């Protein structure tokens, strides 16, 4: 199978595309790939590290207010379509996959104009602008959240697949997770993380509740601060406690997050779609603090989906402080029944076969191309 992948801007768009590529490699050995991303996007750094062939186009997103910059964006889009058509004609893919972010707009649109079957994947409960636009041009829209199919009324086919990142983490090693953290196998672990770059509001809450952590016996707390907030958080905690206790681990970043997640009893984090796919795939209870600084407030919609199912508790950022966060953690970690019910609810939302479902659909679309 010859596959073009496109998506970028954030890891939430990039990693699902990588997960699809890895599943295709597993099921269709000998498949060939081309990833088309933005010149300035995170994908320009991450995709070469994944050893996937990479080409770039110059594209920016629309501003939601009237702006002269939008005129330049339209011109970049048209040039991006032209460049994408050239790349697609040279590579001759069987199918094109878009996973969101404005960069996949011209790529998937170009594929539709060339008659190449295409699929887009929407990670969030509320679709992004690019995927909403592309939904009328593609053969299939794959969605992460059951019930969000109705967000694409003009699509030819909408398929509930879940997020392919779930497949990536489902078989992660719990043993390696405990070893990474340096805690005994089988320990209770509460992981507090504000995303790959960290989040000031969550880091402030980490500091505020540090003095309360000793109240929870036999629980290890892992603070993942992001590089920006690491020294500040560590210094503030040390100033408050005097010394770093053995039940508290402060890290700037976790490189093998799937394995650390596999060893986690409860996670506190933002409500990005890919991260939620990973946690539900493993059946991890969560306390979600959605970022208020995202398009259409989609993280709150993501979080409410888990909260409604009983898999999570949500704290909105304006109400977040150390006392409230620790209170929610304490309530869950001191009641095995609550934790068990939340884990089961989380697990029922997980789709560990997500990447397999997407590859099955791509195989169908690829067959259409060859007819």
CB atoms within 10 A of CB 197: 12
Which tokens is 327 given? Answer: 């209170």
3-state helix, strand, coil in the chain (%, to 5): 50, 15, 35
124 assigned ligand-binding residue: yes
Strands 286-288 and 266-269, by their bridges, are parallel
- Contact (Cβ atoms closer than 8 angstroms) between residue 285 and residue 328: no
DSSP 3-state of 269: strand
The angle formed by the CA atoms of residues 238, 244 and 246, to the nearest 5 degrees, is 160
Give the integer Cα–Cα distance in Å for 349 and 173: 21
Structure tokens, 210: 């540090």
The answer to whether 299 is a known ligand-binding residue is: yes
Is 196 flagged in the annotation as binding?
yes
Task: Identify the bridge partners of residue 266 per DSSP, sorted by sequence position.
Answer: 190
- Measured between alpha carbons, how far is residue 211 from residues 112, 120, 230, 245 in Å? 57, 46, 18, 11
10 annotated to a ligand binding site: yes
Distance CA 323, CA 361 (A): 47
Other Cβ atoms less than 10 A from the Cβ of 364: the count is 14
Encode burial over 127-150: b for 16+ CB neighbours within 10 A, e otherwise: bbebbbbbbebbbbbbbbbeebbe
- Which residues, in sequence order, are CB contacts of 220 under 8 Å at separation 6+? 181, 183, 187, 188, 189, 190, 247, 248, 249
Across 39-187, where does the E strand assignment appear?
54-57, 95-98, 118-122, 140-143, 158-160
User: Which residue has tokens 């700037």?
Assistant: 252
Q: Is 23 annotated as a binding residue?
A: no
Q: Is 232 annotated as a binding residue?
A: no
Annotated binding site: 10-12, 124, 196, 299
Annotated binding site for UDP-N-acetyl-alpha-D-glucosamine: 10-12, 124, 196, 299
């Amino acid at each position: 199978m010859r596959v073009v992948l496109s998506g970028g801007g954030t890891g939430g768009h990039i990693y699902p595309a990588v997960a699809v590529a890895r599943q295709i490699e597993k099921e269709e050995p000998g498949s060939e790939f081309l990833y088309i991303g933005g010149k300035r996007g995170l994908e320009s750094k991450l995709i070469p590290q994944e050893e996937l062939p990479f080409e770039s186009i110059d594209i920016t997103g629309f501003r939601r207010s009237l702006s002269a910059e939008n005129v330049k964006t339209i011109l970049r889009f048209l040039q991006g379509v032209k460049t994408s058509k050239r790349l697609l004609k040279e590579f001759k893919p069987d199918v094109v996959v878009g996973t969101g972010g404005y960069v996949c707009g011209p790529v998937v649109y170009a594929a539709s104009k060339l008659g190449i079957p295409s699929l887009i994947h929407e990670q969030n409960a509320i679709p992004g602008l690019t995927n909403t636009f592309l939904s009328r041009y593609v053969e299939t829209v794959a969605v992460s959240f059951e019930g969000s199919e109705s967000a694409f009324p003009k699509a030819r086919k909408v398929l509930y697949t879940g997020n392919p990142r779930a497949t990536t983490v489902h078989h992660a090693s719990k043993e390696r997770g405990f070893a990474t953290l340096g805690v005994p196998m089988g320990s209770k672990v509460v992981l507090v993380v504000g995303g790959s770059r960290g989040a000031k509001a969550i880091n402030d809450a980490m500091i505020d509740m540090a003095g309360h952590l000793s109240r929870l016996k036999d629980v290890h707390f892992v603070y993942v601060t992001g590089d920006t907030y690491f020294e500040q958080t560590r210094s503030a905690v040390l100033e408050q406690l005097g010394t770093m206790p053995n039940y508290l681990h402060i890290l700037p970043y976790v490189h093998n997050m799937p394995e650390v997640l596999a060893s986690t009893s409860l996670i506190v984090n933002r409500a990005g779609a890919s991260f939620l796919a990973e946690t539900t795939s493993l059946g991890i209870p969560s306390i979600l603090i959605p970022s208020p600084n995202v398009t259409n407030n989609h993280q709150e919609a993501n979080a409410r989906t888990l909260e409604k199912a009983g898999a999570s508790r949500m704290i909105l950022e304006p109400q977040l402080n150390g006392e409230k966060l620790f209170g929610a953690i304490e309530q869950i970690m001191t009641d095995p029944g609550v934790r068990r019910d939340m884990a089961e609810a989380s697990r029922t939302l997980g789709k560990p076969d997500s990447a397999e479902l997407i590859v099955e659909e791509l195989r169908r679309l690829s067959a259409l191309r060859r007819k």
